[in-house]
Amino acid sequence: MLTLSLIAAPSVANLESALIDSLRRSWGGSDMRWLNPGIAAEFQMPAVPGDLDQVAGDLQTIGIDLAVQPTHARRKRVLLADMDSTMIGQECIDELAAMAGVGDRVAAITARAMNGELNFHEALIERVGLLAGLRETVIQDVLDSRITLTPGGPELVATMRAHGGYAALVSGGFTAFTGAVAAALGFNEHRANTLLADDGVLTGHVALPVLGREAKVEALHQITAARGLVPADVIAVGDGANDLGMLAEAGTGVALHAKPVVAAQAQIRINHGDLTALLYLQGYSAAEFVSPAR
Mean pLDDT of the chain: 96
pLDDT digits (tens, 9 = 90+) for 39-83: 999 999 999 999 999 999 999 999 999 999 999 999 999 999 999
221-230 contacts, C-beta under 8 A, 24 or more apart: 221/249, 223/78, 223/80, 223/166, 223/168, 223/189, 224/78, 227/77, 227/78, 227/166, 229/77, 229/78
Please report the sign of the dihedral spanned by the C-alpha atoms of residue 278, residue 259, residue 266, residue 51: positive
Query: Does 118 map to a domain?
Result: no
pLDDT score at 20: 97
| pLDDT confidence tier of residue 129, bands split at 50, 70 and 90 | very high
- Residue 294 pLDDT greater than 60, yes or no: no
What percentage of residues in the chain have a pLDDT greater than 70? Answer: 99
Looking at the structure, tell me whether residues 44 and 83 fall in a common domain: no
Q: Reply yes or no on whether 84 is catalytic.
A: yes
Residue ending a domain, choose from 16, 45, 72: 72
What pLDDT does residue 291 have?
87
Q: Of the residues 84, 94, 239, 243, which is catalytic?
A: 84
Task: Taking residues 14-28, report their average pLDDT.
Answer: 97
Are residues 163 and 266 both part of a single domain?
A: yes
Residue 20 sits in the same domain as residue 81: no
Residue-number span of the structural domain to which 187 is assigned: 75-89+149-294
Active-site residue, from 21, 53, 58, 82: 82
CA distance 288 to 211: 35
pLDDT tens digits for 212-229?
999 999 999 999 999 999
Q: Give the domain CATH number at 236.
A: 3.40.50.1000
Report the number of distinct structural domains present in the chain: 2
Q: pLDDT-based confidence at 293, cuts 50/70/90?
A: low
Q: Are residues 2 and 57 in the same domain?
A: yes
Select from 195, 81, 58 the least CA-distant residue to 138. Answer: 195
One domain for residues 46 and 172: no
Identify whether 94 is part of a domain.
no
Q: pLDDT tens for residues 153-201?
A: 999 999 999 999 999 999 999 999 999 999 999 999 999 999 999 999 9
Q: Is 82 a catalytic residue?
A: yes
